[in-house]
Structure 1
């Protein structure tokens, strides 16, 4: 009798399990009903905070370019001098000028690399808080508006209907938050 009850219980449990498994894909399909895309780069470049960062970076680039322009002109002048006068110089003078030229070229290259690194660090420092806030905005908009999935539209998607793009909404919310934070 115990074996018979156990077998009956097992048959009922398997039946219930199969019904649950059969209904799971239908429920999953129902829950993924609202999908959106956001062009993160467009939002960042279009936002007020992104524009401020862009201006700061452009100002720094101009400052660094002005700084290096004089040094580059000096290197170019030295190269021109070597090309014009090398035929009248002795071998020793020519070699000395070539070494000096190579040294100055390396110095300019190193300074350029340092400047690029400095710009990257500055961009990272300025963009990190904005990206963190953007992530919060997207998450909260998704929860508030019942989105099941929000993806970056540049994430390898082959086709996305424009109606799914909420970039403008995200940008407005980000701008509002940045204004209220100030």
Structure 2
């Protein structure tokens, strides 16, 4: 390649890179703490309360069954010496099956809780994304980062739009309720 071709290619690359570099230097950036927003918006608080109640009910149910199994084991331990070996073995096997069934129920409850949380939070997160997008459009933000997932180690508080997202989300719900047709 000749010197003239190399210089022309470099000039072309620089002419394309300079506008991009100057626009990147002027780009406005903000961040949002999505986890905090999710816990502080009205819908998020209500969903968290519903999930907590559901979890407490499930835990009470499992605790009740666990107590019954403990009592059954204690009764078996007391009566074990008076039982025939084959009867004792049969009772121990039955108790072990019940313990395994309870463990499976607990695991199923954990999976169900994770699924329930995802179902409760997904529409709220979608609405939060819409609110963030509208704030970004309004304020001409070129980039909005999520505080925890973006790897932000430090950022000035002036770039945090979390409070504004919470206010906008809650006020949009109140406006929608006020504009809804009444019966």
TM-score clears 0.5: yes
Match of 1:157 among 147, 152, 164: 152
Q: Deviation string for 1:17-52 (max 9, x for gaps)?
A: 3552352353233332x2111110000001100000
Match of 1:102 among 96, 99, 105: 96
Partner SS state of residue 146, structure 1: coil
Identify unmatched segments of 5+ residues in structure 2. 178-183
Q: 1:172 is matched with which residue?
A: 167
Specify whether residues 85 and 16 from structure 1 end up closer, same or farther in structure 2 by C-alpha distance, changes over 3 A only.
same
Specify whether residues 101 and 165 from structure 1 end up closer, same or farther in structure 2 by C-alpha distance, changes over 3 A only.
same
Match of 2:109 among 106, 115, 120: 115
- The yes-or-no answer on 1:86 pairing with 2:80 is yes
Aligned 8 A contact 1:79 1:101 in 2: yes
Equivalents in 2 of 1:180, 1:109: separation in Å?
47
Specify whether residues 140 and 98 from structure 1 end up closer, same or farther in structure 2 by C-alpha distance, changes over 3 A only.
same
Q: Which stretches of structure 1, 4 residues or longer, exceed 6 Å deviation after superposition?
A: none
Match of 1:23 among 15, 18, 37: 18
TM-superposed CA distance for 1:117, in Å, is 2.6
Q: Deviation string for 1:48-79 (max 9, x for gaps)?
A: 00000011111111222232232111111122
Partner SS state of residue 86, structure 1: helix
Match of 2:29 among 26, 35, 38: 35
Q: 1:125 is matched with which residue?
A: 119
TM-superposed CA distance for 1:15, in Å, is 8.3
Aligned 8 A contact 1:31 1:148 in 2: no
What is the RMSD computed on CA atoms of the aligned residues? 2.4
Deviating more after overlay: 87-96 vs 170-179: 87-96
Specify whether residues 15 and 53 from structure 1 end up closer, same or farther in structure 2 by C-alpha distance, changes over 3 A only.
closer
Specify whether residues 99 and 19 from structure 1 end up closer, same or farther in structure 2 by C-alpha distance, changes over 3 A only.
closer
